[in-house]
Amino acid sequence: MTEQDAAAFWDHRYSERDQIWSGRPNDALVATVSDRPPGRALDLGCGEGGDALWLAEHGWQVTAVDIAPTAVVRAKAAGATRDLADGRIAWVIADLRSWEPPGVYELVSACFLHSPIDFPRFAVLRRAASTVVPGGHLLIVGHADAPPWAMAHAHGRHHFLSLAEELAGLQLDATEWDTVASEVRRRGATGPSGEHATLDDTVVLLRRR
Ligand SMILES: C[S@@+](CC[C@H](N)C(=O)[O-])C[C@H]1O[C@@H](n2cnc3c(N)ncnc32)[C@H](O)[C@@H]1O
């Protein structure tokens, strides 16, 4: 698939509905940063901006990147309705397969950065990891399995990574990174038609020495 195909796929996905995600920040992100001083954050695949907006409201300077213009426009509009300091979030429409992060960060976050379009996930994550400052964190949250409402689409098409696969695939230098958390966490979730389910997320949190 070309760059244009990936952008078209995701933009189409967003334009099918007024809102796809809950708008709330991901639990693992909130748990990760709640007891840390704010700094610079990079949100990879920010979608409709739930995490980026929450971070900005908690004093972080955020760069939020997504390939889907519809999602980023939506996120920006949500930001305009909130009481955020000017310039607190840099919204970027870009393809992470080729995009180079412009700065360094106390937090790089990739929450559910899954894509059915050819996506060099580990290359993207490694490039972003290289921008984490000493003492900073890399947070990667993924689905341990498909949510029940996505089963029909996901099975056979998407391989959900185990924690071991996630850590091995990152190939980060163990002398440079401490593993703060590597675990499956359960959470309640609501599907697109209002159905409730308990989901398992893989949560990997690494701290750069
Ligand atoms: C499953 S959604 C997760 C959205 C958000 N992080 C969240 O937790 O709600 C995956 C996001 O990754 C974005 N994405 C997929 N491939 C991408 C790429 N090559 N470059 C940038 N963003 C991409 C999609 O547009 C989508 O918003």
**Residue-range domain boundaries for the chain:** 3-208
**Which residues face 190 on adjacent strands?**
196
| Rounded distance from Cα 114 to ligand 1 centre (Å) | 7
Residue 207, burial from CB neighbour count under 10 angstroms (0-12, 13-18, 19+): middle
- Tell me the pairing of strands 196-208 and 177-190: antiparallel
Helices and strands (H, E) in the chain, number of each type: 7, 7
CA atoms within 13 A on the CB side of 128: 30
Q: What distance in Å separates the CA atoms of residue 48 and residue 98, rounded to the nearest whole number?
A: 21
Q: Please, which residues have CB within 8 angstroms of residue 105's CB and are 6 or more apart in sequence?
A: 39, 40, 41, 42, 63, 131, 132, 133, 136
- Report the nearest-CA residue for atom 11 of ligand 1: 45
Q: Which CATH class is domain 3-208?
A: alpha beta
The Å distance, Cα 52 to ligand 1 centre, comes to 13
Tens place of pLDDT per residue across the chain (209 aa):
566 799 999 999 999 999 988 889 999 999 999 999 999 999 999 999 999 999 999 999 999 999 999 999 999 999 999 888 789 999 999 999 999 999 999 999 999 999 988 899 999 999 999 999 999 999 999 999 888 877 655 555 678 899 999 999 999 999 999 999 999 999 998 887 788 999 999 999 999 99
Phi, psi of 177 (to 5 degrees): -130, 135
Distance CA 40, CA 38 (A): 7
175 alpha carbon – ligand 1 mean position (Å): 30
Is residue 120 classed exposed, middle or buried when 0-12, 13-18 and 19+ CB atoms within 10 A define those classes?
Answer: exposed
pTM above 0.75, yes or no: yes
User: In ligand 1, which atom is closest to the CA atom of 47?
Assistant: 27
Which atom of ligand 1 is found nearest the CA of 96? Answer: 20
Residues with CB under 6 A from ligand 1: 6, 10, 21, 26, 45-47, 50, 65-68, 71, 95-97, 111-115, 119
pLDDT confidence of residue 79? 93
Q: Which of 3, 19, 29, 46 to mutate to test the pocket of ligand 1 (most atoms within 8 A of CB)?
A: 46
